[in-house]
Amino acid sequence: MADAGPNDVSSGRKRESGGTVQCQERHRLHEQFQAIQKELDDLVTQQFAAFRANDERRFWRLNQKLEPMRDRQERARLALRKHIRTHRCQPLESSRF
C-alpha cells in the first residue's frame, strides 16, 4: 500500500505552483487566529475611544469583553503554533508565533 503523497487529500496538504506545500489545517488555523486578532483590535480601538471620550461605563463594558477575547486569541495562537510544530508544516512568511 502506497503512502499518501503531498497531493493526497487525506494528508491535508496540497502542492501549489512553485513546488511549495500548503497545509489546509494550518491555513484554517491561521485564518481563525487572524479573525480573532481583528476582533480584538476592534475592541481595543473602541475602548480607547471610550477612554478618550471619558466614558467610563463604556470603557469598563468593553474591558469585560476584552478579557475573554484575549484568552481566545491566546488559545488560537497556541493551537496554530502546536499544529505547525507537530505537523511540520511551514508557517506563513508574515507569521511570527
> What does the pLDDT look like over 45-55, one tens digit per residue?
999 999 999 99
Cell of residue 17, nine digits: 505552483
Check: CB of residue 15 under 8 Å from CB of residue 7: yes
Distance of CA 88 to the CA centre of its chain: 17
**pTM, two decimal places:** 0.68
Where is 30: in which H helix or E strand? helix 24-52
Q: Which residues pair with 21 in a beta bridge?
A: 15
Ranges of the chain whose pLDDT falls below 50: 1-10, 15-20
Which phi and psi (to 5°) does residue 89 adopt? -90, 160
Q: How far apart, in whole angstroms, are the C-alpha atoms of residue 49 and residue 83?
A: 36
- For the chain, the domains span 21-87
